[in-house]
Structure 1
Amino acid sequence: MNIRFIALAVLCSLSAMSYAQTLHLPDALQRSIQNYEKIKAKEALVAASAENTNYQKSQYLPDLTLMAQQSYGTINAQNGPLYSYGGLGIASTSMPLAEQNWNAAFGSLYLANINWNLFTFGRIKNQVKLATADQKIAGADLEQEKFQHQVKVGAAYFNLMASQRIKYVQEKNLDRARVFMTTTVSRAESGLIPGVDASLAKAEVSNAQSARIKAYDMELEYSKTLAVLLGEDYRAFILDSIYINKIPRLQEKYVANISDHPSLLWQRSKVESSEKAEKLQRSNALPSLSAFGVVQGRGSGFDWNYVQDNTAYSSSYKNGAGIDRGNYLAGLTLSWNLTNVHRYGAKVREQRYKTQALQNEYLLISDELSAQAQLADAKLKNAIENFEETKIQIKAASDAYRQNMALYGNGLTTIVDLTQSLYALNRAEIDYEIAQNNIWQALLIKSAALGELSILLNAI
């Protein structure tokens, strides 16, 4: 069996089992941003950027380190230089002994250390500002993603409506062709007209049936597209009939500030973030002032006179785990890597060029949206004018079809003339439906260009 007909049967059965519920456009727009997975992903990114901002703010807090260490080993030492690369050396301290021995005892170290960056010349402050700007980018990206997605849903909604209306027109055309065939076959069997007219009438019904199936196939495609954008199961949709019974209530002039367009707000937030990054790179070249403090306690199983008497030690854990000596240390550190002035100067200039590039992109998007808004105005005007023309065409085609049907029934015209009038009426009805749909589509384009879907929703 043809896969297309299987799909038709499945969709019809789903439609029959489900209760009829009209999908209104405002509801579709709202449901789409609640269910669409990409929007959920960007909401998670916004939450992640907020946590990064909290992390950067925590950099104002001092570093507090607690350590407790207990060890067991020897303390042989000798005079000589030592460089502990990467901190992998050991601290075996005593006066140098005459020869190696393997006397071992327990030792301990207890430490509390605090380090606080008192003044970083704006580096931490700029890190927080940059994180906040990145959080703003994530939020603006989420909002523009929601807006763009709702525009896609609106376009899919009207495309599905157009396909449903075309299917409706083809069903009407099929009904007319069947009436025409019934009349023709009856007269041919009575010998009033040639038998070939009956064959042509049957071919016309077959052609109308094929056109209806193709229109239904297109409806299935747009139903799938809308279901995906809504984040819902694939099913048949009943759409709001107001879009086929009325045209939009158009205002003389729409008041909308294009600078508030979600895409421009997103781009502007990226420019601001780049400016914050430039300030951070500049502050990285400045010095930093830190305060530090250390409290230390040490214990050892080796007695104070071990150098003179190598038997003055104890391998007992209790003797080495306690605290025998204590020290404290406090001070300030001012550090400035002077080569950073040159090093970060290049990074500042690099970031400045990136900011300029983002500003140029902002201007480009602004120009494109302005041009799109003007194009939408022209399209909307043309769509309304074209819709008025299709009214004339459908009236003329309807009159011609009725006239030719009456003439053919009385044997005053040929089947060719009747078929041509049937084609003309079918084409006029399709043009009428598309023209009416194009008015709403043009208004959607205008709303998308101005960043205000309320323009479309308020015209209902």
Structure 2
Amino acid sequence: MIGNKRWLILLLLAGVFATPAKAQQVLTLKDAIQTAVNNYGTIKAKSSYAAASKTSVEQAKRDYLPNLNVSAQQNYGTINGQNGPLYGFGGLGVASSGAAMPDQNWNAAFGSLYLTNINWDFFAFGRAKEKIKTAQAVADRDSKDWHQEIFQHEVKVAAAYLNLVAAQKLTLSYQKNLSRADTFRQVVVTRVKNGLSAGVDSSQANAEVSSAKIALTRAIDFEQTQSNLLAQLMGVPPASFSLDTFFVSRVPAFLNDTTDVQNHPLMQWYKSRIALSDEQSKYYKTFSYPVFSLVGVLQTRGSGFEQGYGPLKSDAYTQGYWDGVKPTRTNYLIGVGVTWNLTQPLRIAKQVRAQKQISTGLQAEYDLTGQQLRAQLQLSDTKIANALDNYREVPAQVKAASDAYLQKSVLYRNGLTNLVDVTQALYVLIRAETDRDIAYSNVWQALLLKASASGDFNLFQKEL
């Protein structure tokens, strides 16, 4: 029984002290891209612009609805009238009307006006329809701009991620180099103390250690710069990222299929800009034509002044509120009219011509972008071939350099070579390890370039 209790206590203590430390969460490339798409300010802004443009389409459709106005007013005042011309500049004239009295008087009563008005431009040679199409073209342009921004940002984040992976590998290589240099310095110092090597060798060994420290500091600085850039692109505070480096150690599958750059998100955005400009030209042209309108008015009035009010019966009015505001007379009006500014076509013709010239300029930008993407696509195939050649070559380079360094260091320990040969072998090994770290990253960078040029980011992402 005592033994069982002892084992139970040991198990409890093991559970307490064996709790593993919380490891830093690995940031995968897919997570980095998703975080960047969700957080980056420019993408969020263009998403809002696209949503606003989509709402403007609905607003353009509702602009075709007739104007329906309802008005009611109740007033108190005099109605002195006078024969003579009157023009209300700026709408400041008061519409008081009544019998022309021989003298000014201050007889006042209540009056009212109740009005319903409908006004509808029911035909304008397709103006409303073209306005809706123009709004739809704006919405399509902003949507395409949003999607191409997402695509471009995905490429930027992937490139920054690969650069940070390469930077971290370089830092590890330079840490190993510092460890090698420090270990070899101890060998040199021991030989110098034992009189087996010249004293200058220890000074040179110390210099190599200092050089290795400086190289490591530079590598760390470069890694921190790339980490900061990745954090900016992700829209998160700068931090030390633990990255997924497994996929970099293998070669992705490269597709040699011909890709049509016309489907590239950037090309689609340029194309939507041309379509918008063309729709604006059509919309502007409709302003050259007349507008047919339908109008309807229903008006009811009330007045505290009686029918016989005038010079001979100036007391025929009442100051009662209800007597003045209750409706007593009603009129209606229905009409059809046409409005045409005959000089408008002269102005619109130049505006339409200017818009067509803008379309020509946008077409030139579209063609230029296509040329650049096709050239970039061709360049990506060349870079892929070169990156694969280097990827296949670096293992042999690293092995040969490592063997040479090992040989020179063993020979030095046995007094069969000098420190210069060992240092030279160390430089060759450092360069080989650096080439290896960069070559692995360049293979994926070449694939990313191909995905960027083809407009298909899934070409890169599916290999992760």
TM over 0.5: yes
1:63 maps to a residue whose letter is N
Match of 1:232 among 227, 233, 236: 236
Report 1:2-81 matches (<5 A).
19-81=23-85
| CA deviation map 1:295-327 (0-9, x unaligned) | 111111111111131111222222211112111
Structure-to-structure mapping, 1:76-155, within 5 angstroms: 76-155=80-159
Kindly state the Cα deviation for residue 393 of structure 1 after the two structures are TM-superposed: 2.6
Matched residue, 2:288 = 285
Residue 188 (structure 1) aligned with residue 192 (structure 2):
yes
Unaligned 5+ segments in structure 1 are: 1-15
For residue 370 of structure 1, what is the aligned residue in structure 2? 374
* Distance of 1:416 and 1:388 partners within structure 2: 30
* Structure 2 residue 245 is matched with structure 1 residue 264: no
Question: Any idea what the Cα deviations from partners look like across 1:398-455, whole Å, max 9, x if unmatched?
Answer: 1210110110010011111111111111011101211221121121111111111122
How far apart, in 1, do the equivalents of 2:245 and 2:154 lie?
20
Residue number in structure 2 paired with 1:173: 177
Amino acid at match of 2:306: D
Aligned partner (choices 299, 302, 307) of residue 299 of structure 1? 302
Partner residue of 1:207?
211
CA distance in 2, matches of 1:102, 1:96: 14
Deviation at 1:367, TM superposition (A): 0.8
Q: Which moved more, 1:89-98 or 1:389-398?
A: 389-398
| 1:377 partner letter | D
Secondary structure of the corresponding residue to residue 82 of structure 1 = coil
Residues 110, 323 of structure 2: 8 Å contact kept: yes
1:247/1:439 contact within 8 Å kept: yes
1:330 maps to 2:350: no
TM-score (norm 1): 0.93
Q: For the aligned residues, what is the CA RMSD?
A: 1.6
1:160 corresponding residue in structure 2:
164
Q: Shift of the alpha carbon at 1:202?
A: 2.1
- CA deviation map 1:175-198 (0-9, x unaligned): 111210121112222222222222
Provide the aligned length of Structure 1 versus Structure 2: 444
What is the DSSP-based 3-state SS (H/G/I as helix, E as strand, rest coil) of the residue aligned with 2:112? strand
Question: 1:89-142: CA deviations, max 9, x gaps?
Answer: 211011322122222211111101111222121001100000010000110000
**Do structure 1's residue 348 and structure 2's residue 352 form an aligned pair?**
yes
Question: 1:219 is matched with which residue?
Answer: 223
Q: 2:267 touches 2:369 (CA, 8 Å); kept in 1? A: yes
Report the secondary structure of 2:288's partner residue: coil
In structure 1, C-alpha distance between the alignment counterparts of 2:60 and 2:402, rounded to whole Å: 73
Tell me which amino acid in the other structure corresponds to 2:135.
A
Query: Which residue does the alignment assign to 1:417?
Result: 421
CA deviations on 1:270-299 (whole Å, 9 max, x unpaired) are: 111111111111111111111111111111
| Structure 2 residue identity aligned to 1:291 | L
Cα offsets for 1:343-377 (capped at 9, x unmatched): 21111111111111111111111111111111111
Q: Is the 8 A contact 2:165 2:245 kept in 1?
A: no
Q: Tell me the secondary structure at the aligned position of residue 101 of structure 2.
A: coil
| Identical residues among aligned pairs (%) | 45
Further displaced range: 262-271 or 339-348? 339-348
Provide the rounded CA distance (Å) in 1 between the counterparts of 2:334 and 2:90: 25
In the other structure, the counterpart of 2:16 is none
SS in 1 for 2:75: strand
- 1:17 positional shift: 8.9
The aligned counterpart of 1:408 is 412
- Structure 1 18/146 Cα, relative in aligned 2: closer, same or farther at 3 Å? farther
Question: Are 1:250 and 1:459, in contact at CA under 8 Å, matched by a contact in 2?
Answer: no
Question: Does 1:392 find its partner at 2:396?
Answer: yes
* Cα 1:174/1:459, change in 2 over 3 Å: same
Q: Distance in 2 between matches of 1:360 and 1:49?
A: 25
Amino acid of the structure 2 residue aligned with 1:348: V
- For 1:407 and 1:58, the matched residues in 2 are separated by 89
Gap change, CA 1:17 and 1:153, over 3 Å in 2? farther
- Answer yes or no: is the 8 Å Cα contact 1:254–1:455 preserved in 2: no
Preserved CA contact (<8 Å) 1:188 1:197 = yes
- Deviation per residue, 1:319-340 (Å, 9 max, x gap): 2111121111111112222222
SS of 1:197's equivalent?
helix
In the other structure, the counterpart of 2:316 is 312
Amino acid of the structure 2 residue aligned with 1:263: L
Distance 1:343 1:83 in 2: 31
Question: Does the aligned pair in 1 maintain the 2:99–2:309 contact within 8 Å?
Answer: no
| SS of equivalent to 1:96 | coil
Do the aligned partners of 1:404 and 1:418 also contact (CA within 8 Å) in 2? yes
Once residues 17 and 46 of structure 1 are traced to their aligned partners in structure 2, the CA distance between those partners, rounded to angstroms, is: 46
